[in-house]
Every structure is written in C-alpha cells, then in structure tokens.
C-alpha cells in the first residue's frame, strides 16, 4: 500500500455540544483533537493505511496531546514539527442537527517549515492538501506550495480539499478562490462541499460547477452533499452515489472521513491513476467513502468518531 502524506493543520477543537450553533451563547466546551489534514491522516490510518501527517503544533501541553492522539491512531508523525508558538485552537458550536459555527485562534499551524527530505518520500506516493489554514500566508503557505511542487515533479497522486472556513476569509473570498486555482488545476482528485464548489466556480448548478472544475484541470471531482450522498464527476460522466441513513449528532470531520477512506482505497491500488479512467472501479469506492463519512457523524469529535475498516467494509 502506498503512503498518503497529509499537509496542513493539527489543532484543538473546543466543542460546545448541544448548545446550539451560535457560539456567543455557548458556555461549556470539551477539548477534542482536530484539523482537517490530520483528520484525513487518522481516517487512513484507522482503516489500516499509511497515513502520514505533516504540520506544526506548539511545544506545549496541547501540542503534546495532539501528537499523542495521532500516534495512538497509528499515524506516522515523523514529519510533524513543534515550535514555540502556541498550538492553534478552534472553537466549535454544534446545533441539534450537527451543524457547526467556527471561530479560529491561529497559532503554531502557520509555522510549518519546508523539509527537503520529504521530497523522496512523496515520490510515487499520494499527497493530500487540505487548505483550511494553508493559504493564509507565512511559513505554512510557503511549505505547502513547495510540497505541491514536489508532488508535481515526483509523480505523486494529488488530492486537494479547499476546506473553506468563512471565519478565516471574511471579505477575502476572492483571494481564497484565486489561491485555490493552481491546486484545482493540477489535482487528480478534488473533494468539495456544495458551498465550496459554488464559491470556487462562481456557478450555482452542480453540473456547471463540475464543468468549471474540470475545465480548470481537476480530473475527478467529488462534491459531498450530506445525507444525499456524493456527486462524482469524471471525464466519462456524473453520478450521485447515495450514502447510508444515520442520525447525525456532529458533522465535524465527515468530509475528512470521506476523503480519507477514498484515498485509503486508492493507495491500495497498484496504479492509483486507474481511478481517473475506470468508473467501475471508482464508484464503489465512493460508496464506501460515503459510509465512512456518515458513520463519523454519529459521534462527537472528528478523530474519535472515525470508523475502523470492519465498520466500513464489512457492511
């Protein structure tokens, strides 16, 4: 099985459970590990794959806690870094239907320093780029871009998730769209929410969103639609793959579980690029990834709720 390198943030989610989706009214918070790329690495590792996290946390109790969680979940943290800046925090409030309100307090995640030794590991493997905080400037954005270039020159299979967070880009949405375009242009696989697909394409209809993203360059477009499943679009056509019925209590990490499960399956192929042309191979993978995403919504917190292989593949 090939390695999957996940680049981006690892942070603390302080979650206000069952207190509504308005953070101004939340009173009690529970500490949870989070960060979209770290969630993806954990999703892959919990399924039995080779999830490798590349990101920065503080040299503080929260950073130590986060790295220990990744290790406990069998994620390779050899390329994770710790710095003097305080670990990044996110405050999340959840309504009864699992919908969220976010506020970020950024810290150590933006201090990631590029490691040239990683270029050898990326060669002929998979690189997943989660962009929640990675395009906000600083050392992280520089490292992110260099790892992206390494993937392009080393024959890596590239996955991109814009992870748009409105709180981080208020009034700067156009800048976010512009910064995402080079990654959309070169991605073999793109994972988008409906909001992200519409924002990035400037279109409303799903068919037009897909057409735009393909025209820019993404080979396989997936648009997650919550309980409705996932729209997958390739050069050969578009299909909506249903999910399984669940009662969601926290949607945090559902998209990360989806893309993690999909990348786990792709990494197990002798030739990952086969999914770009073979819908008979890809579509069942999407169905399993939907299952992983749905199961994740049935527990609180992303990483603790990510399913193991038997829960997804033995159904």
Give the pLDDT of the chain (315 residues) as one tens digit per residue: 999 999 999 999 888 877 777 788 888 888 989 899 999 999 999 999 999 999 999 999 999 999 999 999 999 999 999 999 999 998 888 766 656 677 889 999 999 999 999 999 999 999 999 998 999 988 999 999 999 999 999 999 999 999 998 888 999 999 999 999 999 999 999 999 999 999 999 999 999 999 999 999 999 999 999 989 999 999 999 999 999 999 988 888 899 999 999 999 999 999 999 999 999 999 999 999 999 999 999 987 788 899 999 999 998
Task: Give dist(CA 191, CA 7) in Å, integer.
Answer: 15
Task: Give dist(CA 297, CA 47) in Å, integer.
Answer: 17
Q: What is the pLDDT of residue 99?
A: 66
Q: Answer yes or no: are the C-beta atoms of 75 and 172 closer than 8 Å.
A: no
| Token pair in block for residue 25 | 């009214």
CB atoms inside a 10 Å sphere around CB 289: 30
Q: Answer yes or no: are the C-beta atoms of 257 and 291 closer than 8 Å.
A: no
pLDDT in tens, 63-72: 999 999 999 9
Q: Answer yes or no: are the C-beta atoms of 62 and 69 closer than 8 Å.
A: no
pLDDT in tens, 223-235: 999 989 999 999 9
């Amino acid at each position: 099985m090939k390695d999957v390198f996940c680049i981006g943030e690892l942070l603390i989610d302080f979650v206000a459970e069952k207190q509504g989706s308005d953070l101004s009214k939340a009173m009690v918070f529970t500490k949870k590990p989070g960060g979209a790329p770290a969630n993806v690495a954990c999703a892959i590792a919990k399924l039995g794959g080779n999830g490798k996290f590349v990101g920065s946390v503080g040299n503080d109790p929260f950073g130590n806690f986060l790295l220990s969680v990744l290790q406990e979940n069998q994620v390779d943290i050899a390329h994770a870094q710790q710095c003097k800046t305080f670990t990044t925090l996110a405050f999340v409030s959840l309504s009864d239907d699992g919908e969220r309100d976010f506020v970020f307090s950024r810290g150590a995640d933006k201090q990631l320093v590029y490691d040239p030794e990683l270029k050898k590991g990326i060669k002929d493997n998979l690189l997943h780029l989660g962009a929640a905080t990675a395009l906000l400037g600083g050392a992280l954005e520089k490292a992110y871009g260099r790892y992206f270039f390494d993937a392009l020159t080393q024959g890596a299979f590239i996955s991109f998730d814009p992870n748009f967070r409105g709180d981080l880009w208020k009034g700067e949405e156009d800048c976010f769209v512009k910064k995402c375009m080079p990654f959309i242009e070169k991605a073999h696989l793109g994972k988008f929410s409906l909001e992200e697909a519409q924002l990035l394409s400037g279109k409303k209809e799903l068919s037009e969103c897909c057409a735009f993203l393909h025209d820019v360059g993404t080979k396989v477009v997936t648009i997650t639609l919550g309980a409705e499943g996932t729209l997958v679009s390739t050069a050969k056509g578009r299909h909506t793959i249903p999910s399984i019925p669940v009662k969601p209590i926290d949607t945090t990490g559902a998209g990360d579980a989806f893309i993690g499960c999909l990348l786990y399956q792709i990494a197990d192929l002798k030739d990952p690029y086969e999914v770009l042309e073979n819908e008979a191979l890809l579509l069942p993978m999407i169905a399993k990834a939907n299952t992983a995403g749905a199961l994740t919504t049935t527990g609180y917190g992303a990483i603790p709720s990510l399913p193991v292989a038997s829960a997804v593949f033995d159904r």
